[in-house]
Amino acid sequence: MKRVTIKDVAERAGVSYGTVSRALSDHPEISEATKRRIRDLCEEMGYVPNMAARGLVKQSTQVIGLIVPDVSNPFFSEIALEIEMTARAKGYHILVCNTTRSTEWEYEAAEQLLRQQIDGLIISPVTPESMARVQELCGSLPLVCMGDNHNGGCTYVSNDNVRGGYIGGRYLTQLGHRQIAFIGGRTTSNTNRLRTEGFRRAMAEAGCEGIVVECPPEMDDNRRYNELAHQFLAARPPVTAIFSYSDRFALGVMQAASELGLRIPEDLSLLGYDNIVYASLPRINLTSISHHKRTLGRMAVNRLIARIEGDTAEYHDILEPELIIRGTCRGIRSSL
Partner DNA sequence: CTGAAAGCGCTAACAC
Partner DNA sequence: GTGTTAGCGCTTTCAG
Does residue 116 bind DNA (CB under 7 A)? no
Phi, psi of 255, rounded to the nearest 5 degrees: -60, -50
* DSSP annotation string for 4-23: P-HHHHHHHHTS-HHHHHHH
Q: How far is the CB of 256 from DNA (least distance, A)?
A: 52
Does residue 14 bind DNA (CB under 7 A)? yes
Cβ neighbours of residue 56 under 8 Å, at least 6 residues apart? none
**Which of the choices a copy of itself, DNA, none does residue 238 contact, using the CB cut-off of 5 to 8 A by kind?**
none
**Which of the choices DNA, a copy of itself, none does residue 34 contact, using the CB cut-off of 5 to 8 A by kind?**
DNA
Does residue 72 bind DNA (CB under 7 A)? no
Q: Which is nearer to DNA, 6 or 276 (CB)?
A: 6
**Which of the choices DNA, a copy of itself, none does residue 316 contact, using the CB cut-off of 5 to 8 A by kind?**
none
- Could you tell me how many helices (H) and strands (E) the chain has, helices first? 12, 12
Residues 263-285, buried b or exposed e (16+ Cβ, 10 A)? Answer: ebbeebbbbbbbbbeebeeeebe
Q: What is the DSSP letter of 35?
A: H
Helix (H, G, I), strand (E, B) or coil at 147: coil
Does residue 112 bind a copy of itself (CB under 8 A)? yes
Contacting DNA (CB under 7 A), which of 11, 36, 53, 205? 53
Per the DSSP assignment, residues forming a β-bridge with 93 are 63
Q: Which helix (H) or strand (E) covers residue 302, if one does?
A: helix 293-308
Q: How far is the CB of 65 from DNA (least distance, A)?
A: 18
For DNA, what does the binding mask look like between residues 25 and 44, x meaning CB under 7 A?
x-x-xxx-xx----------
Does residue 281 bind a copy of itself (CB under 8 A)? yes
Does residue 62 bind DNA (CB under 7 A)? no
Does residue 119 bind a copy of itself (CB under 8 A)? no
Cα–Cα distance for residue pair 131/145, rounded to 1 Å: 9
- Give Cα separations from 11 to 2, 20, 23, 27, 250 (angstroms): 16, 10, 14, 20, 64
Number of residues that bind DNA (CB under 7 A): 30
Cα–Cα distance for residue pair 21/250, rounded to 1 Å: 56
Q: How far is the CB of 217 from a copy of itself (least distance, A)?
A: 21
Residues forming contacts to a copy of itself in the complex (CB under 8 A) are 1, 46, 48-53, 55-56, 61, 63, 70-74, 77-78, 80-81, 84-85, 88, 93-98, 100, 111-117, 139-140, 251, 254-255, 258-259, 277-278, 281-284
Residues forming contacts to DNA in the complex (CB under 7 A) are 2-3, 5-7, 14-19, 21-22, 24-25, 27, 29-31, 33-34, 47, 49-50, 53-54, 56-59
